[in-house]
Structure 1
């Protein structure tokens, strides 16, 4: 970085909300107005400075993410010890306080809206479920240090093939993510940010991974520590329960799905309501508002691991969301682009794929589980019982037959079937 830019950063850090002329006189007295203005512009564009006001009232401050990064320069054992701050949550007023600025929320909505416009809530989630199971299970597990690569994760999820030599906990971690994500998508019409649902997600993610299995899906009553941080979470069971209920109440009142999603990523880990697996719970739960609003999911696939942890430490120790927000926005934009493309690939001109989706699923399951073959006459009768218009039945049944013929171990999950179910089935 050029000397003038560092001089400006040092001056603004010591003199917050300084105007351009004050900064020029204090940080770069030998430089011209134009040189200082260009340096300020570069620092703002790089996210190192924030600017507010207009004209002569324009002032500059160190960007929040830069504050967090500067704080983290000191080793964690030399940073001041901090305890849980209830005012951090209390100060948040749903739909009045915003962690994500309106311009950024609009950008996220534009990026996350599926190609072709919005459709019935939950339909998009079910269409991209297979890919989401792999992406989110792998990425969220990777953020916990899991060493499975994404191809190994895909084979584990789709075919049940565990990698020899891997720690069993790593295999279980991925399979637990699969269960938790399926639980969210399967219950998307009814799931909410309530105790039963958050407990359910935690219980599925924690299955077989806690020393005390009774703590799965239950708030903790014992102290916990945070690695490489000077932050000490609450250790009082009654207060943890009270704060958890406040957290959920406020989260449920937030109208904007992206603000709601980010709020969960901030406050579930900060409270550390569970004895372990708080971050994983927050990552899965953060997708609920996005999927319910039919936006692309947050897969965490491209999220920078170190920046994510640094962003959380900024929350733990400074109650500063700026760095995590920066990481969230960048990661979501990349995730949304992938799922926009995927949506375009899976969109079908076939009316049966959307309007008669439930019938097609039932027809395939019936053919596999009951008749062990696709009997067109039986399926036509089934279509009649479903009140599918007579002039559309042949096309719908033909579509169902194509889906039946395309069954294999990798896509059985669409119909909630297992590999053993298609043994002996005539897939012609």
Structure 2
């Protein structure tokens, strides 16, 4: 509710972005704060003054009026946090990272945190945990389109972009269309393109420079000030919001560590260990100017896609838990919180997959060609086509109207539809009873 987003301006008529994010409990991630401020600007409720570090945000007259109207409304009850149940050691670490900023010691990149890891000898995940996840994550069919949409939506949410689910569904089905896109919509479409890239067999995705650099380019398309930074390793120093951690700043070291991390990840044989290793080490290095954590989240799915396992969709993972896990890695090289978030997230992903499969997730191909199949089936029924004639006519039509890669599957889907038509469902195809009966007599006679 935008009037609640305006509340911090009640005491101060203007403020900087860091002050705004600290006005909420828990504090907002920097990206979420900037996203809210931008949306308030688009609604003409605040205006931006200055540039760079001196940027200020100030209430407009419309914002002042909206704030007064909102003050007359009862404040909604705060929802209870949906954080996961953490172990005692994870809770202890959370207490340490939640100390005041001034009490936390600045730390630099610790090469030994990565350098002591030996693929297939060291392990971040216990063996029994990996076995449990493997059993739960084995796919019994095709990866659900809905689960991939969940991955795009939840990964965007963890970066502070809250695109409404109905809009996300529409974007997955139709793309951008002709309407202007919000930042949230661009983020969703970027995730969609990145997921399609990782799942495309010809892409030969793996833990190599080509895959990860292109993954970054897809995930940050049209979102960076410098387009040349898309898919490029960082050449400048970088700070982490609300953290005392200082990532490496020397480009040559960044490139060397990046290549070493990918080489190590490629050697790991267990898919879950691979996934978690990448979720830990890539963000810790911060090889890109922006988008490091979303690259790691999608890269973690590479071994899962390759082994036909349920993808890690981050369903029901709170932004606070995830960021706490990363903060513990940045400042203490401690994986405890993130490991528990990872296991919880994957278990919820598998439960989500089983629920979707039980509900009968629609075939995306049939959804795509629904009208075409209906029209062609209706014409074949009206023409009283026998099977060989029907197949021949479908081939001729598909050669002109269906893309080459889809033609065989389209013909098979239409033939399967014809075989499944009976007196209880023929009305779906907009044919009269007499037309159906005349066709059925010929079709059954020839195929019996």
Q: TM-score range by the shorter chain?
A: 0.5 to 0.7
Instruction: Give the equivalent residue in structure 2 for 1:143.
Output: 158
CA contact (8 A) 1:302 1:334 kept: yes
Please give the secondary structure, in 2, of the residue aligned with 1:221.
coil
Cα shift at 1:195: 0.5
The match for 2:314 is: 300
CA distance in 2, matches of 1:177, 1:90: 31
- Following superposition, the deviation at residue 402 of structure 1 comes to 8.7
Q: Which of 101, 106, 125 matches 1:76?
A: 101
Q: Residue in 1 aligned with 2:338?
A: 324
Which residue in 2 is equivalent to 1:172? 186
Task: Note the residue ranges of structure 2 that are not aligned, 5 or more in a row.
Answer: 1-84, 381-389, 397-410, 426-448
Could you tell me which runs of 5 or more consecutive residues in structure 1 were left unpaired when the two chains were aligned: 1-44, 49-62, 383-393, 406-428
SS in 1 for 2:139: coil
Residue 47 of structure 1 aligns with which residue?
A: 87
Kindly indicate whether the alpha-carbon contact (under 8 Å) linking 2:147 and 2:352 is maintained by their aligned counterparts in 1: no
Post-superposition shift, 1:200?
1.1
> What is the match of residue 147 of structure 2?
132
Q: Is the 8 A contact 1:297 1:339 kept in 2?
A: no
Residue 226 of structure 1 corresponds to 240
Deviations 1:188-238 (A, max 9, x none): 782111110111111001100011100101111101110111000010000
Deviations 1:279-309 (A, max 9, x none): 1111111111112111111101211210100
Q: Give me the whole-angstrom Cα distance separating, in 1, the residues matched to 2:419 and 2:261.
A: 47
RMSD of aligned residue pairs (Cα, Å): 3.6
Contact 1:205/1:277, CA 8 A, preserved across alignment: yes
Measured in 1, the distance between the counterparts of 2:123 and 2:281 equals 14
In structure 1, how many angstroms separate the alpha carbons of the residues matched to 2:290 and 2:419?
A: 45
Partner of 2:28: none
1:42-84 deviations in Å (ceiling 9; x for gaps): xxx9721xxxxxxxxxxxxxx2x23421212312332000000
| Contact 2:86 2:337 (8 Å CA) reproduced | no
Cα offset, 1:400, TM superposition: 6.5
- Paired position in structure 1 for 2:289: 275
Distance in 1 (CA, whole Å) between partners of 2:289 and 2:283 is 11
Deviation of 1:379 after TM superposition, in Å, equals 6.5
Contact kept? 2:377, 2:414, Cα under 8 Å: no
Q: Provide the C-alpha distance between the structure 1 equivalents of 2:177 and 2:361, rounded to a whole number of angstroms.
A: 32
The separation in 1 between residues aligned to 2:112 and 2:223, in whole angstroms, is 33
Q: CA deviation at 1:256?
A: 0.6
Residues 190, 218 of structure 2: 8 Å contact kept: yes
1:333 aligns with 2:333: no
**In the superposition, relative to structure 1, how do residues 332 and 135 fare at CA in structure 2: closer, same or farther (>3 Å)?**
same
Q: Deviation digits for residues 318-345 of structure 1, max 9, x if unmatched?
A: 1010100001111110111111233455
Query: How much has 1:106 moved relative to structure 2?
Result: 1.3
d(CA) in 2 for partners of 1:90 and 1:248? Answer: 13
Could you tell me whether the CA contact under 8 Å between 2:195 and 2:298 is conserved in 1? yes
Structure-to-structure mapping, 1:46-65, within 5 angstroms:
47-48=87-88, 63=89, 65=90
**8 A Cα contact 1:193 1:252, kept in partner:** yes
Preserved CA contact (<8 Å) 1:134 1:150: no
Aligned residues of 1:77 and 1:229 also touching (Cα < 8 A)? no
The corresponding residue for 1:94 is 119
Conservation of the 8 A alpha-carbon contact between 1:143 and 1:305: yes
Question: CA–CA distance in 2 between the matches of 1:77 and 1:159?
Answer: 49
Q: Does 2:91 match 1:66?
A: yes
Alpha-carbon distance in 1 for matches of 2:192, 2:116: 35
User: Residue 130 of structure 2 aligns with which residue?
Assistant: 105
**8 Å Cα contact 2:136-2:350 kept in structure 1:** yes
Q: CA 1:315–1:167 in structure 2 vs 1: closer, same or farther (change >3 Å)?
A: farther
